[in-house]
Amino acid sequence: LDGFDVETIQKLAKIRIGKSPLPGRSYLISRGTIQRKLKGKFDKNNLKIILPKKPTVSRASLKISSKQLENIVLKEIKGQFQNYEDVKITIKTKLKDIYIPKGKASYKIKRIGKNNKIGGYSSWMLTLMLDQKPAKKVLVRAKVDVFDNVLVAKGVIDKGSKIEKTDLIEVKKDISKEKIGFMAKNQQIVGQHARRDIFENESVRDRLVGRPIVVQKGMPVKVVFKSKNLMLSNTGKAMKSGRKGDVIPVRTLRSKKIVYTVVIDSKNVEVAL
């Protein structure tokens, strides 16, 4: 704005021609647009409008390319699967370049919904932050394939048999469709007994093994009662099968009373206090 009429220049400076465009966009200013905004406001003044050939208004912004967005999502998702041997992530959403106003940019990413499977398809919300405030949200769909070393049966393990270290072998398998926490560790399996037949190359889960039953229903057992200054014993009959540490009912042979006991071994139980 130029001229000798200071008061008119001050009024001109307050005229609103248009709104700022969205970040990363621009629009063309025409002579007609300016004339319409000034119409009827400065009748007594001789105004001359001089414009470049194609005057445009752009807003200062930060460009985040689709490749940058992809790298952010891949890094964050992979970080949440770092406890696994190998993870393959495929972004299914077609990402586009994003523009946000200039400022201190950061981001947050969060998985949407609950999924009890280790991998598979999932949705993630990427929130782009500007000066610690949400500026843009991007919904990303991804497929996560997870591979890890899993204990499997080297051969068929018969139901009820004790599992030895030699019965197991560690192999790399796709566990994407398995439930979270399905894997059992070697030390949790060796020494346990198979609850059913475990087939060759089948993953050995916690639910497939258990402690052996040491007291069978109907077996005679020695019932022991212990206190600080007293120890009593009696004989009884197990009313229920049990493993070491299980609480089972026992009927004493003399008084025919039922007491609840803790299984110590195949011949001894202790009154549960």
pLDDT digits (tens, 9 = 90+) for 197-217: 989 988 888 778 888 888 989
Mean of all residue pLDDT scores within the chain: 86
Give the H/E segment covering residue 62: strand 61-64
CB 73 within 8 A of CB 92: no
Residues contacting residue 253 through CB under 8 Å, at least 6 positions apart: 220, 234, 235, 236, 237
Higher pLDDT, 119 or 21: 119
pLDDT category of residue 185 using cuts at 50, 70 and 90? low
SS3 label, residue 166: helix
Q: What is the mean pLDDT of residues 48-56?
A: 85
Which of 38-47, 64-73, 121-130, 238-247 is the least confident region?
A: 38-47
pLDDT category of residue 184 using cuts at 50, 70 and 90? low
pLDDT digits (tens, 9 = 90+) for 14-51: 888 888 777 767 788 888 888 888 887 876 667 888 88
Phi, psi angle pair for 73, to nearest 5°: -65, -45
Q: Is the pTM of this model over 0.85?
A: no
pLDDT category of residue 183 using cuts at 50, 70 and 90? low
What's the pLDDT at 43? 67
What's the pLDDT at 182? 66
Give the Å distances, CA to CA, from 141 to 7, 28, 71, 130, 212. 58, 37, 14, 23, 46
Q: How far is C-alpha 154 from the chain's CA centre?
A: 32
Closest residue by Cα to residue 162 from 191, 203, 205, 199: 191
pLDDT at 138 over 80: yes
